[in-house]
Amino acid sequence: MNHIRSSSTAETCAQTYSFLPCTTTALGNLFLVLAYGFLNYKVRVTFLTAGSDLLLETIGPGYAGGHGHVVTLLLPMLGALPDALLVLASGLSGSGEKAQNQVLVGMGLLAGSTIFLLTVVWGTCVFAGKCDIGPNGVAIDSKDTKGWFRFTGSGISTDNETSWTARIMAICVIPFAIALFPKMLRIQPGHRLPILLATIISFFLALSYCLFQIYLPWIQRRRLAFAKHRHVISGILQHAQMQALGHLLNDDGTPNENVIRKLFYKIDNDDNHDLSRAELHALIIGINFEELDFDKNDAVDKIMDDFDTSGNDTIDEGEFVEGMKIWLNEAKRKVQASGAYTNKFINDYHERTREEHDQLAVSDEEVEPVENPGRMIVKAVGLMLVGAAIPAAFADPLVDAIYSLSKATHVSSFFVSFVVLPLVNNSSEVVSAVRSMRKKRRRSASLALSEVYCVVTVNNLMCLGMFLALVYARDITWDFSSELLIILLVCVVMGLFTSFRTNFPLWTCLVAYSLYPLSLVLVHILDSVFHWS
């Protein structure tokens, strides 16, 4: 990269590309870091995400033919691209001595992003998505009455697939352990063979993980399953309106309990004041869901999960009323209706859920053709190329700003990038996860945490592989054992903690939060007391 000295200040700074701003003050460099970081965030949302979504919609995920395989293979890597480019820029800049100093920025980004997602973001997900925990230890969807500090009476629940995603994340720290072998065995740090081996295994595992996403696309399938369930919900609400039982909502938007009770008695064919699985199955069969293909028994299971809070495999009148209230409140939030609540409100919600389902529904054997697919593919690829080019162009200025901020504040560039970069680089993941968790449902919690684990897995493998390749290719002195160790420990601790349980009381967020400062303290102790660096 070209760096030309600016003579406009007493203490000169280097202007990247001869025109981008530079400064020697702490506040000035902090502003530049935040500005470049915000630019990366907007690029990721505007171009990378939009382009990948458009490509998925056009070609299709998972088994959608050869092109679908390529798309699904590349999408996880595209998500890790901005961080990987920053790691690359930190080790390519300038002379070997400058690269030795600046490569700590890349290591700080890798450690900071991983630990930030598994501690601060994970804990915030539990806090934002907390629901009351029922007698069986499972969080009750959309029921949050215990207050903010009932650490044992509220929490979240996830599905078994989410636990498997966490196990995969824990297994994929193998390259970190390999890179740390020389330090643990008291061999000369930075021995080149373990670094080369860890580099190869990192890229191999990243490729294997992406291939795994092709043949077992859990997250995409769960999104589709959630969309189907929401459409079933809207169909039942619409069915109630069409039966002329009355408006499900009063004029002020509150659920009309009288109409809900009428619906309960209409479904209760045997008049025993309980709804059985057979009666729910009959209800679903009697509703016209157009061409929507779904498992009726699975739909009954999900309705039971939503309504049967007592766990006796039937739904009594009180449970039905409370469950319908939750469904109606969710529908209101989705449609954001204003004024009087009428039949049109329910119809709008039904159409909205149908559209969401259609956007995700892609056959395992055949992709529904879209109009002018060639133009759509070109547009999607163009968006992703722009989304890759802009972070690549601004990676070097961002690394320079962090390095200058480190010198201005006399704080290690590792700690600066560890704290600052994840706040701006992972903003999109934070926003997406918290929005999903605020729905306070088990399905949304499973999806949000699965995406966190997936992001951590791909980021770890791609960024570590890129970092170790730089160390090996540029013969950079090995000085990163303590940083790698904290990533390894946090991933293993959180991986084991989340792999063998699906229920997380609110106190578990405190465990996650505590790991963030503890990791920084551990790095300081290893470097200052045990002289690992």
Domain regions of the chain by residue span: 26-217+367-530, 226-362
Q: Which positions ≥6 away from 209 have C-beta within 8 Å?
A: 76, 168, 172, 457, 458, 461
233 closest CA partner among 158, 300, 297, 279: 300
Q: Are 448 and 125 in contact (CB under 8 A)?
A: yes
- Higher-confidence residue of 344 and 303: namely 303
Predicted local distance difference test score (pLDDT) of residue 487: 94
Residue pLDDT, tens place only, 84-121: 877 877 777 666 667 777 788 888 888 999 999 999 99
Mean per-residue pLDDT, 433-438:
78
Give 396's pLDDT tier (boundaries 50, 70, 90). confident
User: Would you give the end-to-end CA distance of the chain in angstroms?
Assistant: 28
Predicted local distance difference test score (pLDDT) of residue 522: 93
Examine domains 26-217+367-530 and 226-362 and report if their fold is the same. no
Mean per-residue pLDDT, 401-419:
87
Give 280's pLDDT tier (boundaries 50, 70, 90). confident
Quick check: 193 pLDDT over 90? no
Mean per-residue pLDDT, 205-212:
84
Give 254's pLDDT tier (boundaries 50, 70, 90). confident
Q: How far is CA 33 from CA 17, 52, 79, 424, in A?
A: 17, 27, 20, 9
Predicted local distance difference test score (pLDDT) of residue 367: 43
Q: Are 117 and 452 in contact (CB under 8 A)?
A: yes
Residue pLDDT, tens place only, 467-513: 999 888 888 888 788 889 999 999 999 999 999 888 999 999 999 99
Alpha helices in 44-159 (DSSP H): 50-59, 65-92, 96-115, 122-129
DSSP state at residue 316: E
Quick check: 517 pLDDT over 70? yes
Predicted local distance difference test score (pLDDT) of residue 198: 93
Q: What gap in Å lies between CA 330 and CA 479, rounded to an integer?
A: 52
Residue pLDDT, tens place only, 145-174: 887 777 788 999 998 888 988 999 999 999
The β-bridge partners of 315 are 275
Predicted local distance difference test score (pLDDT) of residue 156: 93
For domain 26-217+367-530, give the fold: A middle domain of Talin 1 (1.20.1420)
Q: Which positions ≥6 away from 49 have C-beta within 8 Å?
A: 428
Give 1's pLDDT tier (boundaries 50, 70, 90). very low
Predicted local distance difference test score (pLDDT) of residue 339: 42
Mean per-residue pLDDT, 218-236:
63
Mean pLDDT rounded to a whole number for the chain: 77
Residue pLDDT, tens place only, 14-23: 777 778 888 8
CB atoms within 10 A of CB 410: 7
Mean per-residue pLDDT, 298-323:
80
Lowest mean pLDDT across 114-123, 332-341, 394-403: 332-341
Residue pLDDT, tens place only, 172-183: 999 999 998 887
Quick check: 9 pLDDT over 80? no
Mean per-residue pLDDT, 425-440:
77
Give 63's pLDDT tier (boundaries 50, 70, 90). very low
SS (H, E, C) 350-390: HHHHHHHHHHHCCCCCCCCCCCCHHHHHHHHHHHHHHHHHH
DSSP state at residue 120: I
Mean per-residue pLDDT, 387-407:
83
Give 461's pLDDT tier (boundaries 50, 70, 90). very high
Lowest mean pLDDT across 241-245, 374-378, 505-509: 241-245
- Higher-confidence residue of 343 and 402: namely 402
The percent of residues in the chain predicted with pLDDT above 70, rounded, is 74
- Higher-confidence residue of 167 and 41: namely 167
pTM: 0.69
**The tokens 């057979």 sit on which residue?**
278
The token pair that represents 390 in the structure block: 């802009």
Class of domain 226-362: mainly alpha
